[in-house]
Amino acid sequence: MLKKCMGDPSLIIPTEDIGIKDCLYYEEISVQILDRQVLKLRTKEVASVKVLWRNLFVEEATWEVEEYMKKIYPHIFESGEVPN
């Protein structure tokens, strides 16, 4: 059974005293290319690569456009180990 909880106002900390920043972010850095595929549309083909990101598991890897990834992260493609 649930009981009524009486809060203690002396334990509440005002947020103005904690300096919280609104612009907290971090940059994802690609680590490895896991797979490559070419999607065939009606008029063109789009090459995609499965990218493993730092601080993520292999199951959380995402499919990205290969051309875009080559512009942003050319160091990954320099080794020549992109899977077919």
Tell whether 15 is covered by a domain.
Answer: no
pLDDT confidence of residue 4: 78
Tell whether 2 is covered by a domain.
Answer: no
DSSP state of 54: T
The verdict on pTM exceeding 0.85 is no
Tell whether 13 is covered by a domain.
Answer: no
Tell whether 5 is covered by a domain.
Answer: no
Q: CATH number of the domain that 62 lies in? A: 2.40.50.40
Residue 64 binned pLDDT confidence (cut-offs 50, 70, 90) = very high
Report how far residue 67's alpha carbon sits from residue 63's, in angstroms, rounded to the nearest whole number.
12
Range of the domain at 49: 22-77
Give the chain's domain count.
1
Tell whether 83 is covered by a domain.
Answer: no
pLDDT confidence of residue 50: 95
Tell whether 40 is covered by a domain.
Answer: yes
Tell whether 59 is covered by a domain.
Answer: yes
pLDDT per residue over 40-58, tens digit each?
999 999 999 999 998 889 9
Residue 9 binned pLDDT confidence (cut-offs 50, 70, 90) = confident
